[in-house]
Structure 1
Amino acid sequence: MELDLAGAELKAVLNRLRRAQGQVSGVIRMIEEGRDCEEVVTQLAAASRALDRAGFAIIATGLQQCLTDAGENGASPEDREVMRARLEKLFLSLA
Protein backbone atom coordinates (compact mmCIF):
# COMPACT_ATOMS: atom_id res chain seq x y z
CA MET A 1 0.00 0.00 0.00
CA GLU A 2 1.64 3.17 -1.20
CA LEU A 3 0.58 6.53 0.20
CA ASP A 4 0.47 9.57 -2.03
CA LEU A 5 -0.22 12.72 -0.04
CA ALA A 6 -1.35 15.74 -2.01
CA GLY A 7 0.22 19.13 -1.37
CA ALA A 8 -2.26 20.43 1.21
CA GLU A 9 -2.54 17.07 2.98
CA LEU A 10 1.22 16.68 3.09
CA LYS A 11 1.69 20.20 4.44
CA ALA A 12 -0.87 19.62 7.22
CA VAL A 13 0.72 16.32 8.27
CA LEU A 14 4.22 17.77 8.22
CA ASN A 15 3.07 20.77 10.27
CA ARG A 16 1.58 18.46 12.90
CA LEU A 17 4.73 16.37 13.02
CA ARG A 18 6.93 19.46 13.35
CA ARG A 19 4.69 20.75 16.14
CA ALA A 20 5.01 17.42 17.93
CA GLN A 21 8.77 17.47 17.42
CA GLY A 22 8.94 20.91 19.03
CA GLN A 23 6.73 19.80 21.90
CA VAL A 24 8.88 16.73 22.57
CA SER A 25 11.99 18.92 22.55
CA GLY A 26 10.21 21.18 25.01
CA VAL A 27 9.36 18.24 27.26
CA ILE A 28 12.99 17.10 27.27
CA ARG A 29 14.13 20.61 28.16
CA MET A 30 11.49 20.87 30.90
CA ILE A 31 12.63 17.59 32.46
CA GLU A 32 16.27 18.65 32.30
CA GLU A 33 15.33 21.92 34.03
CA GLY A 34 13.38 20.09 36.73
CA ARG A 35 10.09 21.78 35.85
CA ASP A 36 6.78 21.01 37.51
CA CYS A 37 5.42 17.53 36.82
CA GLU A 38 1.98 18.83 35.80
CA GLU A 39 3.51 21.16 33.20
CA VAL A 40 5.63 18.33 31.78
CA VAL A 41 2.69 15.93 31.53
CA THR A 42 0.49 18.62 29.93
CA GLN A 43 3.11 19.27 27.27
CA LEU A 44 3.67 15.55 26.73
CA ALA A 45 -0.07 15.01 26.24
CA ALA A 46 -0.11 17.79 23.64
CA ALA A 47 2.74 16.12 21.75
CA SER A 48 0.93 12.79 21.87
CA ARG A 49 -2.26 14.36 20.45
CA ALA A 50 -0.27 15.99 17.63
CA LEU A 51 1.27 12.64 16.69
CA ASP A 52 -2.12 10.91 16.85
CA ARG A 53 -3.68 13.53 14.59
CA ALA A 54 -0.88 13.18 12.06
CA GLY A 55 -1.30 9.40 12.09
CA PHE A 56 -5.06 9.61 11.70
CA ALA A 57 -4.67 12.06 8.81
CA ILE A 58 -2.31 9.65 7.06
CA ILE A 59 -4.68 6.72 7.61
CA ALA A 60 -7.69 8.72 6.42
CA THR A 61 -5.83 9.70 3.26
CA GLY A 62 -4.78 6.09 2.73
CA LEU A 63 -8.35 4.91 3.17
CA GLN A 64 -9.64 7.45 0.68
CA GLN A 65 -6.95 6.51 -1.85
CA CYS A 66 -7.60 2.79 -1.41
CA LEU A 67 -11.31 3.21 -1.97
CA THR A 68 -10.72 5.34 -5.04
CA ASP A 69 -8.08 2.99 -6.43
CA ALA A 70 -10.22 -0.08 -5.76
CA GLY A 71 -13.12 1.45 -7.66
CA GLU A 72 -11.00 2.61 -10.58
CA ASN A 73 -9.01 -0.62 -10.88
CA GLY A 74 -11.97 -2.96 -10.40
CA ALA A 75 -10.42 -4.64 -7.36
CA SER A 76 -12.02 -7.88 -6.29
CA PRO A 77 -14.01 -8.06 -3.06
CA GLU A 78 -11.19 -10.15 -1.57
CA ASP A 79 -8.59 -7.50 -2.41
CA ARG A 80 -10.78 -4.77 -0.93
CA GLU A 81 -11.24 -6.82 2.24
CA VAL A 82 -7.49 -7.37 2.60
CA MET A 83 -6.91 -3.63 2.21
CA ARG A 84 -9.67 -2.83 4.70
CA ALA A 85 -8.13 -5.21 7.24
CA ARG A 86 -4.69 -3.65 6.80
CA LEU A 87 -6.08 -0.14 7.27
CA GLU A 88 -8.08 -1.25 10.29
CA LYS A 89 -4.92 -2.69 11.85
CA LEU A 90 -3.09 0.59 11.25
CA PHE A 91 -5.96 2.59 12.69
CA LEU A 92 -6.11 0.43 15.81
CA SER A 93 -2.36 0.78 16.32
CA LEU A 94 -3.02 4.48 17.02
CA ALA A 95 -5.99 3.90 19.31
Structure 2
Amino acid sequence: MASKKSILRKIQIVLTNHFETPEAAFSFFDKSGDGKLSKSEITNLLKEAEISGFIRGLVGSKLIEGYDKDGDELIDWKEFKTAISEIAKDAE
Protein backbone atom coordinates (compact mmCIF):
# COMPACT_ATOMS: atom_id res chain seq x y z
CA MET A 1 0.00 0.00 0.00
CA ALA A 2 1.19 3.53 -0.76
CA SER A 3 2.73 5.48 2.09
CA LYS A 4 1.22 8.67 3.42
CA LYS A 5 4.19 10.63 2.10
CA SER A 6 3.87 9.20 -1.43
CA ILE A 7 0.13 9.94 -1.47
CA LEU A 8 0.72 13.52 -0.32
CA ARG A 9 3.45 13.94 -2.94
CA LYS A 10 1.09 12.77 -5.71
CA ILE A 11 -1.60 15.20 -4.56
CA GLN A 12 0.93 18.03 -4.45
CA ILE A 13 2.13 17.20 -7.97
CA VAL A 14 -1.42 17.38 -9.35
CA LEU A 15 -2.13 20.66 -7.61
CA THR A 16 1.10 22.35 -8.66
CA ASN A 17 1.61 20.91 -12.16
CA HIS A 18 -1.94 21.07 -13.47
CA PHE A 19 -3.25 24.30 -11.99
CA GLU A 20 -1.97 27.88 -11.94
CA THR A 21 -3.31 28.52 -8.44
CA PRO A 22 -4.84 26.62 -5.53
CA GLU A 23 -8.10 28.48 -6.28
CA ALA A 24 -8.11 27.07 -9.82
CA ALA A 25 -7.65 23.53 -8.48
CA PHE A 26 -10.43 23.99 -5.94
CA SER A 27 -12.80 25.36 -8.60
CA PHE A 28 -11.95 22.53 -11.00
CA PHE A 29 -12.77 19.81 -8.48
CA ASP A 30 -15.83 21.63 -7.07
CA LYS A 31 -18.08 20.20 -9.79
CA SER A 32 -21.27 21.17 -7.95
CA GLY A 33 -20.11 24.78 -7.68
CA ASP A 34 -21.26 25.03 -4.07
CA GLY A 35 -17.90 26.23 -2.73
CA LYS A 36 -17.23 22.93 -0.96
CA LEU A 37 -15.65 19.63 -1.92
CA SER A 38 -17.71 16.53 -1.21
CA LYS A 39 -16.18 13.10 -0.70
CA SER A 40 -16.87 12.22 -4.35
CA GLU A 41 -15.21 15.44 -5.52
CA ILE A 42 -12.19 14.70 -3.32
CA THR A 43 -12.14 11.17 -4.72
CA ASN A 44 -11.94 12.69 -8.22
CA LEU A 45 -8.94 14.75 -7.10
CA LEU A 46 -7.31 11.58 -5.77
CA LYS A 47 -8.07 9.77 -9.03
CA GLU A 48 -6.39 12.61 -10.93
CA ALA A 49 -3.41 12.18 -8.57
CA GLU A 50 -3.26 8.51 -9.62
CA ILE A 51 -4.09 7.21 -6.16
CA SER A 52 -5.23 3.62 -6.65
CA GLY A 53 -8.94 2.90 -6.50
CA PHE A 54 -8.41 0.53 -3.61
CA ILE A 55 -7.31 3.25 -1.21
CA ARG A 56 -8.95 6.32 -2.80
CA GLY A 57 -12.05 6.05 -0.59
CA LEU A 58 -10.02 5.61 2.56
CA VAL A 59 -7.80 8.57 1.79
CA GLY A 60 -10.81 10.73 0.89
CA SER A 61 -12.46 9.89 4.22
CA LYS A 62 -9.24 10.61 6.13
CA LEU A 63 -8.79 13.95 4.37
CA ILE A 64 -12.31 14.99 5.32
CA GLU A 65 -11.86 13.68 8.85
CA GLY A 66 -8.58 15.58 9.24
CA TYR A 67 -9.50 18.91 7.65
CA ASP A 68 -13.27 19.34 8.04
CA LYS A 69 -13.23 21.80 10.93
CA ASP A 70 -16.92 22.77 10.85
CA GLY A 71 -18.20 19.18 10.87
CA ASP A 72 -20.27 19.33 7.67
CA GLU A 73 -18.35 16.42 6.06
CA LEU A 74 -17.27 18.74 3.25
CA ILE A 75 -14.06 20.66 2.61
CA ASP A 76 -14.60 24.38 2.07
CA TRP A 77 -12.05 26.79 0.60
CA LYS A 78 -10.50 27.69 3.99
CA GLU A 79 -10.15 24.01 4.92
CA PHE A 80 -8.72 23.26 1.46
CA LYS A 81 -6.07 25.98 1.86
CA THR A 82 -5.07 24.51 5.23
CA ALA A 83 -4.89 21.03 3.72
CA ILE A 84 -2.74 22.02 0.73
CA SER A 85 -0.32 24.02 2.87
CA GLU A 86 0.13 20.99 5.15
CA ILE A 87 0.35 18.63 2.18
CA ALA A 88 3.11 20.75 0.64
CA LYS A 89 5.01 20.75 3.95
CA ASP A 90 4.53 17.00 4.59
CA ALA A 91 5.35 15.94 1.03
CA GLU A 92 8.87 17.39 1.23
- Structures share a fold, TM > 0.5? no
Higher strand share: 2
Report the structure number with the largest CA radius of gyration.
1
Higher helix share: 1
